[in-house]
Structure 1
């Protein structure tokens, strides 16, 4: 049961993603309400059948002071589609600083990209322009909603009304 459920805050803003068993438990314990359910899948026990949640809403508002995407190696790989931004290869991936650290480049969303070992070695201590290695796309910091919608794996169609809302720029 690898399906995921979108968790909404009390004000219907996207909060997180969890597993189906966790979502069912929150609904069963009356800590959340079922907003959308799967039309083709059900949770079955020996004596009962329950709708499988796809979207739930918490009964209490959860205040999150910072709702952003953590900059981790795996999140940068996800943002770049697990492909080298220089050649498009999808094996032996590393992180590359667009502006090399030795030349003042920072470790940030806007300066880190996914690169295969071959391209990273070839680029060395140069910028992509100096190494004549154009990038397929420029690095950027994804918003929280964008990350949930585009990079969290399989999303359900029932999530879209909650993830398509206007995003706040962070």
Structure 2
């Protein structure tokens, strides 16, 4: 069961995504309430059927420290649509520093992009302008809610009201 459930804080702000079994357990133990269920499926036991959670809300407010998106390889690839920002290829992806580290480029969201091995090698120790290679997307730091909405795979239409916009960014 690979479905995900959006978890809202008591004030209806999105705080995380969890698995269906975890969400069901929170609802069953009265630690959360079911806000939206998946009307196309149910959880079944031998004698009882339960709604399949899609969105749940915690009963008690949880103070969550600043929630940012972790800078790692997979998250940079997700942000860039799992394709090279120079040629659009989807195979053999690596991370590329737009401003090379040897020239003082930092390892941060604004300087890292997904690039295929051949484009990364062709760019080498140059900036994109010096190598004559244009970026198809400008690198940026995604917000946590933006990351949940746009980059966590297929999300249910039930999530849209709690994430501020539809999946299409």
TM over 0.5: yes
> For the residues of structure 1 that align with 2:138 and 2:63, how far apart are their CA atoms?
33
Runs (4+) of structure 1 moved beyond 2 Å?
A: none
> For the residues of structure 2 that align with 1:118 and 1:2, how far apart are their CA atoms?
34
Does 2:147 correspond to 1:153?
no
> Hey, what does 1:35 align to over in structure 2?
35
TM-score by length of 1: 0.96
> For the residues of structure 1 that align with 2:10 and 2:119, how far apart are their CA atoms?
47
> Hey, what does 1:114 align to over in structure 2?
114
> For the residues of structure 2 that align with 1:20 and 1:33, how far apart are their CA atoms?
13
> For the residues of structure 2 that align with 1:64 and 1:56, how far apart are their CA atoms?
17
> For the residues of structure 2 that align with 1:68 and 1:59, how far apart are their CA atoms?
24
Does 2:68 correspond to 1:68?
yes
Note the aligned Cα RMSD (angstroms). 0.7
TM-score by length of 2: 0.96
> For the residues of structure 1 that align with 2:63 and 2:127, how far apart are their CA atoms?
41
List aligned pairs for 1:21-32, cutoff 5 A: 21-32=21-32
How much does 1:61 deviate?
Answer: 1.2
List aligned pairs for 1:129-168, cutoff 5 A: 129-164=129-164
Unmatched tracts of structure 1, length 5 or more: 166-170
How much does 1:12 deviate?
Answer: 0.2
> Hey, what does 2:125 align to over in structure 1?
125
> Hey, what does 1:168 align to over in structure 2?
none
